[in-house]
Amino acid sequence: MTKKLEVNEQDELMAEKLKTKANELFKEGDYEAAVDYYTQAISYNPYVPQYFSNRSLANYKLELYGQAMQDATDSIALNPDFDKAYYRRATALVALGRLKEAIKDLTKVVQLSPNDRLVRQKLKDCQQEYKRIEFEKAIMVEDVKSVIDQLGDIDSIVVEDTYDGPHLTEVNVEFVLALLEYMKQQKKLHKKYLWKMLIKIKEYFESRSSIDDVYIPEGAKLTVCGDIHGQYYDLLNVFELNGLPSETNMYLWNGDFVDRGSFSVECAIALFAFKLLYPNSVYLSRGNHEANDMNKVYGFEGEVKHKYTDNTFKLFSEVFNAIPLGNLIMEKILVIHGGLFSKKGVTIDDLRKINRFQQPGQSGLMCELLWSDPQFLPGIGPSKRGVGVQFGPDITEEFTTTNNLKCIIRSHEVKHEGYEIAHNGKCITIFSAPNYCDSANNKGAYIHIDRNCELEYKQFTAVPHPPIGPMQYAGVYGKM
């Protein structure tokens, strides 16, 4: 926290003016600019707890949960009875799956504001979820069987006469195109066919390395896309603008297919269907949201259970555990969801050896690969998200030199223009969910890559979708 020895009246007036501007920017959805103005307000008057609390919320909106927690903590230090600051910190803790700590803060909020029924309910929800998780840990056995064993004889499942969607005999072009259109009409693929597809894609992913190799044949191009986050109609728009996947129109989707957007099931099914159709032309990388704790908070678990069943979600989870952690294009460009690592000397071979068939955890190579972000300063810094690290241009230079790479491509962060080129052109961020969460007003983008590993950037804007907003299936627990 930056402090001045003295704050005069002029400083106070300037701080209030900057705070007012920050509030306006926040309402407009420009959270990055809001953070900047709150920071300026704090520089003039670092003794107002509301400034830190407001910046905490703006950082939360930017998914910088670690920074949001720190701001809330600084606010509490200035006013130990500031209920809103405890609540802000609890929301960030919930986002990181740290329920035990969140319960402590929510309990404090209830003590300070005993008549707030909404907070009491959220405390109850967190307590119930924490008990459920602890119970599952207590009964967990080492040799956990696949949920597939609980599905029974899938072939014997009867498809009702009322079902008017595509029937799966094989994953061919006709089936996939019919499936895309059927889901566009907000209709559900029959669970029999979904289960068959998920089992088949799981088996395929299990046969691959943690870093898959991508080769671009003569006459083909590869399009790299970033986060789509359940925005199915924007995913369809990418195919409209850039062409459907084919043997010569290759795609690589770099994680975070699900969560936040309320058409995550459709996004995952569409991408898995194309992967099954064109296994050597469509590639997927796992993101930090292909994980159980994220799916609990940000809606995918609730969406799957609403549209299908609990066992269907468990099957999706097993598929997510099998998705490769990254893809190496022409041995020159590494595509991973988050970023680089807290230790030096990491090689592609080290990444290939990661046991990815599990949840990402809170530390280690797999966690950092999925969660880390670039920074302008050199070296390694603590993550503003509270998970992973931040890595500077020198870290990117060392990694690309060690592994003889042209650059890395990562996603994981909203960018106003849909992409960002950093670290002397060696660290590229691509984000493909335009107007993220119906509020960010950002463009989406994707990258064309040819056999010579030359990159061309394409931008696009959001398209309309049915009137179902983001986080529709997250429930009270996820809507803190």
Residue positions annotated with a catalytic role? 289
Specify the 3-state DSSP secondary structure of 281. coil
Cβ-based burial of 260 (10 A; exposed 0-12, middle 13-18, buried ≥19): buried
* Distance from C-alpha of 254 to C-alpha of 194, rounded to nearest angstrom: 22
Specify the 3-state DSSP secondary structure of 327. strand
Query: Per the structure block, which two tokens stand in for 59?
Result: 């950082």
Comparing CA positions, the residue from 350, 360, 306 lying closest to residue 472 is 306
Looking at 331-392, list the stretches that DSSP marks H as alpha helix, in order from N- to C-terminal side.
348-352, 365-371
Say if strands 427-430 and 407-410 run parallel, antiparallel, or are unpaired: parallel
* Distance from C-alpha of 90 to C-alpha of 99, rounded to nearest angstrom: 8
* Distance from C-alpha of 47 to C-alpha of 44, rounded to nearest angstrom: 9
Contact assessment for residue 226 and residue 411, using Cβ atoms and an 8 Å cutoff: yes
Residue 276: other Cβ atoms inside 10 A: 18
Query: Per the structure block, which two tokens stand in for 237?
Result: 């728009």
Cβ-based burial of 375 (10 A; exposed 0-12, middle 13-18, buried ≥19): buried
Distances from the Cα of 17 to the Cαs of 9, 27, 42, 79, 290, in angstroms? 12, 16, 11, 22, 42
Say if strands 444-449 and 419-422 run parallel, antiparallel, or are unpaired: unpaired
* Distance from C-alpha of 407 to C-alpha of 426, rounded to nearest angstrom: 4
In the chain, % helix, strand, coil (3-state, to 5) comes to 45, 15, 40
Phi, psi for 316 (deg, rounded to 5)? -55, -45
Q: Starting at the edge strand that comes first in sequence, how are the strands of the sheet with 407-410 ordered?
A: 211-214, 326-329, 333-336, 407-410, 427-430, 419-422
